[in-house]
Amino acid sequence: MSNQSTLADDDLFGEAAAEMREEVEGHLDDARAALPDADAVWDVEADNVLGVLNTLRSALDVGDAAEHLRQAKKTFIVGQRADAFDDPEDLKAEIEELEGLVTSIEDAEDLAGDLTGTVPEIRSLLQEAANAADGGAAEADGDAEA
């Protein structure tokens, strides 16, 4: 009876392992599908640089991709620790590749956000400098006339 029970347990474990692999792969597919559209990141229409940066920042939002990736990693870690995968290296490589892409996109989004705050400051400072130069030039003209 225990030999029969062991065979049934092995079958159940094999089934569970296959389901875990399918779950990881499903989350990875969902994560890829939730990534930003390449054309939305590249083709930006706006009236000025600030509009371009805001559009780009929005286009770089990874949305649900990060959460799907997180779920894939959680399931993978459990399956790996249970030694449930025949070949975990291919799943691990897919997870790492997608994780690198999501991180790069998030970094680019942060940079666009930083520039969104910096560019208006620079414009304001440049306008102040130009006004000061115009004021100084007008003052110099006034001194020359006197």
Q: Provide the 3-class DSSP secondary structure of residue 120.
A: helix
Question: pLDDT tens across 79-101, in order?
Answer: 999 898 888 999 999 999 999 99
Rounded to two decimals, what is the model's pTM?
A: 0.80
Domain count, the chain: 1
**pLDDT for res 9:** 83
Q: Please answer whether residues 41 and 58 qualify as being in contact, where contact means their C-beta atoms are separated by less than 8 angstroms.
A: no
Lowest mean pLDDT among 10-14, 30-34, 74-78, 107-111: 10-14
H or E element: which one contains 68? Answer: helix 65-81
Question: pLDDT tens across 32-65, in order?
Answer: 999 999 999 999 889 999 999 999 999 999 999 9
Q: Provide the 3-class DSSP secondary structure of residue 56.
A: helix
More confident residue, 34 or 139: 34
More confident residue, 77 or 14: 77
Q: Please answer whether residues 69 and 102 qualify as being in contact, where contact means their C-beta atoms are separated by less than 8 angstroms.
A: yes
**pLDDT for res 140:** 56
Domain that holds residue 39: 2-145
What number is the average pLDDT over the span 133-145? 65
User: Residue 86: how many CB atoms within 10 A of its CB?
Assistant: 10
| b/e map 113-132, b = 16+ CB within 10 Å | eebbeeeeeeeeeeeeeeee
